[in-house]
Amino acid sequence: MSHSTVSPAAQAGQFDFLVKGEHHVANGTLLGFWLYLMSDCLIFAALFATYGVLSQNYAGGPSGADLFDLPLVALNTSFLLFSSITYGFAMLQMQQRKLKGTMIWLAITGVFGAGFLGLELYEFYHLLHQGAGPQRSAFLSAFFTLVGTHGLHVCIGIIWLVTLLFQLRKHGLTTANRRRLFCLSMFWHFLDVVWIGVFTIVYLMGSLS
Amino acid sequence: MSELSHNHDEHHADHHQEEGPHSSFSGYMLGFMASVFLTAIPFWLVMGDVFSSRNTTVLIILAFALVQILVHMVYFLHMNFQSEGGWTMLSLIFTVVLLFITLSGSLWVMYHMNVNMMPSMMSGGS
């Protein structure tokens, strides 16, 4: 009795397995890219920890309160925040399969990103000009490493974005390009999350001391 | 060839789940508005010298940063317990644990190293 009921069920399960085996894993790349972002997060954790330890070691040099220009940082932060929402609009256009709209919002995102990078380079140039370069004190070494690494990520994000614009123009919103847009979206929003830590811990808390 | 693959894409998108999370205009706008609010207030607190106590200001801006990170995670990165069968959330929790150990461990150990240093070796620090 029991034998006769179990046997067909097991056979059905076997067929299910064969049918399911034909499907490919749809979201493999997105999960893999998310895992990359998590490991990138650990790099930033190490840099934040280094900055936290060294942030008071001025070696008789200037402190954050002497150096940081908060209105400039506020402008920079708003650039990155605007670029996050414009990337969101690009994703919404992509969902509606509107190639032109996707490309326009992506380009606007790139302009905001470039503006952010330009202001950061201007700030770095200004600091170096004042003699407050990374070699001045442990505090400034940690500052340049942390903020510079974030800036490097934004720079790579912009290169990726421009590459994607050319690919979109050539191939349109194919499955591969939509996957790339999702990955860049995660990368871009992740950089904005890291920047929240940077402006709070480095700039705002640095200006208080 | 490209026409064929395009048709396949449309077919794929219609009958299966879209590759990534589905996002909405209202979700992005809500996240953006919250972010503007959560960014502007810490800047105002620091630039306007609202509180006389440094510690109060530090605690409040850190709390605002934490909330803003959560807002970005939910509204921009579309984090939830369902995506990828829960693996994104699991890896995020694992990363947050490592992050906490790295940050708190470094700060704790190095603070005590500074405190226990011989006074003569201190180089004019406060």
| Rama region for B23: left / alpha / beta (φ>0; ψ in -120 to 50; rest) | beta
Tens digit of each residue's pLDDT (9 = 90 or more) over B34-88? 999 999 999 999 999 889 899 999 999 999 999 999 999 999 998 888 887 888 9
Min Cα distance B28 → chain A (Å) is 6
Q: How far apart are CA A36 and CA A19, in angstroms?
A: 31
H or E stretch covering A145? helix A138-171
pLDDT greater than 50 at residue B19: yes
Q: Nearest-CA residue of chain B relative to A79?
A: B36
> Are A123 and A198 a contacting pair, CB within 8 Å?
no
Contacts of B53 in chain A (CB under 8 A): none
- Between CA B24 and CA B35, with CA B29 as vertex, the angle to 5 degrees is 130
H helices of chain B, where?
A: 2-15, 25-47, 54-75, 87-115
The ipTM assigned to this model is 0.83
Nearest-angstrom CA–CA distance, B28 and A186: 14
If you write DSSP's letter for every residue of A76-135 in order, what string do you get? Answer: HHHHHHHHHHHHHHHHHHHHTT-HHHHHHHHHHHHHHHHHHHHHHHHHHHHHHHTT--TT
What is the mean predicted confidence (pLDDT) over A89-107? Answer: 96
Distances (CA, A) of A161 to A20, A26, A72, A124, B32: 36, 23, 25, 24, 21
Q: Which of A130, A40, A202 is nearest to B98 (CA)?
A: A40
Q: Look up tokens 């003699």; give the residue.
A: A131
Mean local confidence (pLDDT), A156-174: 96
List, for residues B73-122, the tens digit of each pLDDT value.
999 998 888 887 888 999 999 999 999 999 999 999 998 888 887 665 55
Nearest to A41 among B6, B25, B99 (CB): B99
The CA distance from A26 to A179, in Å, is 10
CA angle in degrees (0–180, nearest 5) for B112-B117-B119? 135
Cα separations in angstroms, A168 against A29, A103, A133, B12, B13: 19, 7, 40, 19, 18
Mean pLDDT, residues A156-182:
95
41-80 in chain B: CB under 8 A from chain A: 42-43, 46-47, 54, 57-58, 61-62, 64-65, 68-69, 72-73, 76-77
Q: Rounded to an integer, what distance in angstroms lies between the CA atom of residue A8 and that of residue A10?
A: 5
Residue A19: CB atoms within 10 Å: 8
Domain positions in chain B are 1-79, 83-116
pLDDT in tens, A12-62: 555 555 555 545 556 688 999 999 999 999 999 999 999 999 998 899 999
Least confident of A68-72, A153-157, B10-14: B10-14
CATH class of A28-55+62-208: mainly alpha
- Residue A8 has a pLDDT of 53
Cβ-nearest to B102 among A46, A81, A85: A46
A165, pLDDT greater than 70: yes
